[in-house]
A and B are shown apart, each in its own frame.
Chain A
Amino acid sequence: MIRYEVKNETESEEVKYVCFVDDDTFPQNKFALPVPPILLSLHGCGIIDTSCGLVCLEGSLRKSDNSETDMVVLWNPSIRKSIAIVVPNDGPSRFYPLVGFGVCPETKDPKLVKISSKNDDDDDDDDDGNQVMVFTLSSREWRCLSSNHLPRKSLVFDNSSQTVIGRFLYRFVFNGELYLISSFDLTNEEFGEVPLPDSLRRSYLFISKLRESLVLIDDNEESTTEDIDVFDIWMMMEDGAFTKLFIINNASVERIIRIMGFKKTGEPLVEIDVREDDNSDPTPVLVVYEPCLDHININDLGICRGAAFFAMCSYNKSLLLLDYDDGIILIRNPKKQNSLLNSYMKMLPWLEFDIQVEILKRLPVKSLIQFRSVCKAWKSLIDSSPFISDHNNVGHHPLSEHLMIKCGASEENYVCFVDDDSDSFPQNKFATPPVPPIFRLFWPFNTAIHSSCGLLCVEGLLREPDNSKTHMVVLWNPSIRKSIAIVVPNVGAPSGFIYAATSRVIPFVGFGVCPETKDPKLIKISSRNDDENQVMVFTLSSREWRCLSSNQLPLKSLEFKNYCQTVIGRFLYGLAFDGEFYLIWSFDLSTDEFREVPLPDSLRRSYLDMSKVRESLVLIDEEKGHSSTDMQVFDVWMMMEDGAFTKLFTIKKASIERILGFRKTGEPVVEIEIEIVDDVTTALIGVYEPCLDHIKDLGICRSATFSVMCSYNESLLLLDHDDDDGCIVRAVEN
């Protein structure tokens, strides 16, 4: 399908673009196009050419200081996208720089060729001749082509017409004496000359194309008489020779002024002058000329123009530019980068979509999931990895902190709260998202749920069809209800081995999302043969486990304490025992490096619980056998910015059994034992308010097992993973 586009400046100087579908229905199938806003700001706008569905226009932008910048706009009308490119201006040139345009048919990379002919009054040293610069959209840069690519140095490039056929860009050139056609190969960037019959070299010809052949239009200026327009149409044949295709010998009343181009049937579109009577000014009108009938239907297209010329081009539909953002490409590495221009650009009417992006970034996840359906652009934005990563950055969503508490083995035992600042806590309980479907085949360990960047990590055993058990972790984003299960490789353990209750044989699995790449990462440390900890790392992007050389571990004979971990920023913290003392280690999620975090000696003697308050590491030291009374004593330590630990507060309260974690206000969420019947403990969960020494009941009661808690933010992570909810990644071990 080919369309014609006509630029029509009416008397009010309004620029109009009209399209026709170039098929049998022509010219019934006509439609208007929304014009890229930048075009409205350009002066002296003209169409350079079309190639592979892209329309290339040029014009100049007048800045506030009245200086002008030459610009080229690449526009794909089929998908309504455009990119503007600033044309470098080398010095005070008299002319518009001459810009050629074509899309390389092999790479589909749009290319611009700028030829600045040297001033005539330049000194005679023609050493540089015509200076040629080439721009490719993929590189976004202008670079110089050495001038010896030009066939002759003293050519005068005319800037009125060009045409692209296949991989060649043709132009009409004057060498000071005769005319010739230069070709530029869009693939290898070489200039050439197309041989012309001598008879065609004497006058200026208009260059065009008919289907995929080069056509020259000779308007026989000298030879025409007053009454008859004679145009010779020449076509370049496959062997490179030129043949006269037909002659337009129009004797009708209306005078043909110019041939604009051709329909794909070969009929020319021409500009004619229409006068209502002999005294009135002529009105230029665009019509189709039918050579066989020597006929013109004036009302055919219904287009007449004002002061400026018509411009016409034919284009196909294409998807080029789809992968580019609308915008302006400034000149890079020029002598002077003009930030004024840069500032000015920001005000051009393009940014409609930018403001939508800014608003979307600030919406809660659920709204975003709904608003994917608003339009295509929103869906592709929301689903894109940069948006997913960016959206998770804190500060945008005042209500996005959640506490999830699990107080039993079954699905109903997950409860969520919005952890907001208001006094409404804990009323703001919300429907807990359904647990991932894989949980039905899965025995989650009841020991911990870890969270990082809105993803929860639940570790457990999967019951295989043959009744064997596979150690795995499920990454779960409750905000968008997506999950991915990952099998933890079982190196060294006997096949069919069922993990026993002793933590010594279950490898340690740590989880964190690298804050820079937003790539979820797992580390597995298996204490094999007691003296060598083998470390493996899994990233969701690679879907592979790979070994980390163990010498990155500070000490080889550590016993890593399962389930005790916390992610803060880019560090994953955990607890280990070196046979004598406890220590805290950190794992850098960006660089995969282990470090030891220095602890005060007093904290190294007993098992510690680890948690966080906002973005600080917190250790909970339960003082056992502290006193003869039933009083439970918990010391809460916080790691300060300088790495030192400070005792935050001490909780002494008889009824508190365990500290599960902290609200963002710093108040601990605790478990209170209420009764033991037949060895089954029943406990309540509440928030301890240290100032009031009071426990606010959360209305959750735990049965048989431990309860665990984690806090998480809303996030879009996993949205761009195509997998079905709950799919299992059985990663290959490397």
Chain B
Amino acid sequence: MSKKTLTLMSKDKQLFNIEEHLAVQSVTIRNMVKEDGASSVIPLPRVDSETLALVIEYLNRQQAPEEDEDYVKKFVDERGEIPTLLELAQAALDLDIKKLMDAACMKVADLIKDFTLEEVREALRIENDRTPEEEKAIRDEFQWAF
């Protein structure tokens, strides 16, 4: 039986080929293949080409099941930059690739757990929607933690 190949298209319209049996580790892709055979190109309108290249690299890994945990950890460890990890986590969440999502989120959590509030906001691009007084009131509920 010949191996079927799927084509994924990133947000910036780059095409990536991947063997179907590897691609279906993504539950999202699996459902699409099941639904319509996904003969055409599968568009991934939220994933940019750099991130998709990483996802494809991950899906193409040839690890024995018992080494898989370590591989995933190492895979995300090597991409220690928060923006990259966020893109990767978001792509893994969208594509429903649980292990990759778990590992990427765990890594981000590890990186930010000792950040100051300002550093967290900057890293995750979150706007502070409170006035300094309001913020102080929230902090004062758990003064010991600061």
Contacts and interface: CB of A to CB of B under 8 A. Distances in A.
Interface stretch (A316-324, A370-378, A667-675): A370-378
Nearest to B135: A373
B129 A346 contact: no
A356 interface: yes
A710 B94 CA distance: 41
13 contacts: A64-B42, A65-B40, A344-B32, A346-B96, A351-B93, A358-B105, A359-B89, A359-B109, A364-B113, A370-B117, A374-B128, A481-B142, A481-B144
Contact of A355 (B43, B105, B130): B105
A346 B89 contact: no
Given A359-B109, A374-B126, A375-B129, A343 B142 contact: no
B95 to A, nearest CB: 8
A370 B145 contact: yes
A396 B146 CA distance: 23
Contacts of B112: 359, 363, 367
Interface of B: 28, 31-32, 34-36, 40-46, 86, 89-90, 93-94, 96, 101, 105-106, 108-109, 112-114, 117, 120-121, 124, 126-130, 135, 138-139, 141-142, 144-146
Contacts of B101: 358
Interface of A: 41, 64-65, 338-340, 342-344, 346-349, 351-352, 354-356, 358-364, 366-367, 369-376, 378-379, 396, 480-481
A373 B128 CA distance: 9
Contact of B86 (A355, A361, A396): A355
A379 B117 CA distance: 13
Given A349-B46, A369-B142, A373-B135, A358 B36 contact: no
A354 B91 CA distance: 12
A5 B90 CA distance: 32
A374 B117 contact: yes
A41 to B, nearest CB: 8
Contacts of B129: 375-376
B89 A339 contact: no
Contact of A371 (B45, B105, B120, B141): B120
A340 B36 contact: yes
A363 B45 CA distance: 29
A346 B94 contact: yes
Q: Which of A41, A348, A355 has the most CB of B within 10 A?
A: A355
A339 B130 contact: no
Given A358-B93, A363-B109, A367-B113, 5 more contacts: A64-B32, A340-B35, A355-B89, A362-B109, A481-B144
B121 A369 contact: no
B139 A343 contact: no
Q: Is the interface of B mostly helix, strand, loop or mixed?
A: helix
B128 A362 contact: no
Contacts of B86: 355
Contact of A367 (B90, B96, B114): B114
A536 to B, nearest CB: 33
Contacts of A364: 113
B28 A64 contact: no
B138 A370 contact: no
A59 to B, nearest CB: 16
Nearest 6 Cβ contacts at the A-B interface: A362-B109, A340-B35, A369-B145, A343-B31, A367-B113, A358-B105
Contacts of A64: 32, 40-43
A372 B143 CA distance: 12
Contact of A396 (B43, B106, B121): B106
Contacts of A65: 36, 40
Contact of A340 (B31, B41, B141): B31
A180 to B, nearest CB: 44
Contact of A374 (B113, B114, B120, B146): B120
B90 A356 contact: no
A361 B101 CA distance: 12
Contacts of A359: 89, 105, 108-109, 112, 124
A481 B34 CA distance: 50
Contact of B90 (A351, A373, A374, A480): A351
A375 B121 contact: yes
A372 B106 contact: no
Given A346-B94, A354-B93, A370 B146 contact: yes
Contacts of B146: 370
B121 A480 contact: no
Contacts of B121: 374-375
A360 B96 CA distance: 18
Q: Which of A348, A358, A361, A378 has the most CB of B within 10 A?
A: A358
Nearest to B39: A65
Contacts of B35: 338-340, 343
B94 A375 contact: no
B40 A355 contact: no
Nearest to B121: A374
Contacts of A342: 31
A366 B145 contact: yes
A370 B120 CA distance: 11
Nearest to B31: A343
Nearest to B113: A367
Contacts of B142: 369-370, 372, 480-481
Nearest to B93: A355
B117 A362 contact: no
A379 B35 CA distance: 39
Contacts of B127: 375
Contacts of A362: 105-106, 109
Contacts of B46: 347-349
Contacts of A41: 45
A361 B86 CA distance: 15
